Amino acid sequence: MSDITILDHPLITHKLAILRDETTSAQMFKSTLETLTCVMSYHVFAHLRQNRVRIQTPLEEMETYQLASQPVIASILRAGNGMADALFAIIQDASMAHIGMQRDEVTHEPIFYYEKYPEDLASRQVILVDPMLATGGSAIEAARRLKEKGVSDILFTCLVAAPEGVSAFHAAHPDIPIITAALDRELNETCYILPGLGDAGDRIYNT
Ligand code: PRP
Ligand code: URA
């Protein structure tokens, strides 16, 4: 599989184990998901456009790097919001976009219900976030809507991906890199990721 970064690190495995554990409370789940996203932001940041700039320290001038432009963090509702809020706290001048997708419980196809974007979306780099990449339907459709709006530079980041979702996403959007904390084994008959962590939205919001 090309263009996928799987973040293999003991800290990430440790935090993921808390998310995977069915006894973890909603409050602990949400705060751990945010911490894990902060850890992952180190890798996300490396994909953002940088400019070489000169700054003045209290002692002398020096050359360094700054973000070339502020990205848009696009959250696939609902579960994407946990990751998006954590990234937003780190990339403070970023903008947020919201894309409402709900998987149909029978067909597992994504149903689109809401969207809100900054006006200058088309010219900006977009970090698309959703903790789960299962069949890939939701992320594929969200990326398609971003491209329809004129966006040409997208990065997708998730916490747990299934091989089926990764293949489908790469087939639909070969230009979009994926960063994931884990690549799990497979989907079950109801298209949940195994071993996975269950329904991310339900676990964050205790529904
Ligand atoms: C979950 C998850 C993804 C989607 C992944 O959302 O957050 O958006 O399923 O599945 P897919 O790759 O097969 O499309 P869900 O539809 O449960 O909505 P929610 O976040 O509102 O709970
Ligand atoms: N959505 C989730 O939240 N979890 C899965 O395992 C699959 C889809």
Q: Provide φ and ψ at 45, rounded to 5°.
A: -60, -35
pTM (whole model) above 0.75: yes
193 in contact with ligand 1, CB cutoff 6 A = no
CA dihedral 57, 124, 140, 14 (to 10 degrees): 10
* Model confidence pLDDT, tens digit, residues 150-179: 999 999 999 999 999 999 999 999 999 999
Check residue 1 and give its pLDDT. 47
* 3-state SS assignment for residue 107: coil
Residue 5 CA from chain centroid, whole number: 12
Among 78, 103, 124, 203, which one carries the catalytic annotation? 103
CATH of 4-49+62-205, one of 3.40.50.2020, 3.40.50.1220, 3.30.70.1400, 3.30.870.10: 3.40.50.2020
Does any ligand 1 atom lie closer than 6 A to the CB of residue 137? yes
Residue whose Cα lies nearest atom 2 of ligand 2: it is: 199
Residue labelled with tokens 């200058």: 120
In Å, what is the CA distance from 76 to each residue of 2, 59, 96, 158, 181?
A: 23, 45, 11, 11, 17
Contact 71, 44 (CB under 8 A): no
pLDDT digits (tens, 9 = 90+) for 174-193: 999 999 999 999 999 999 99
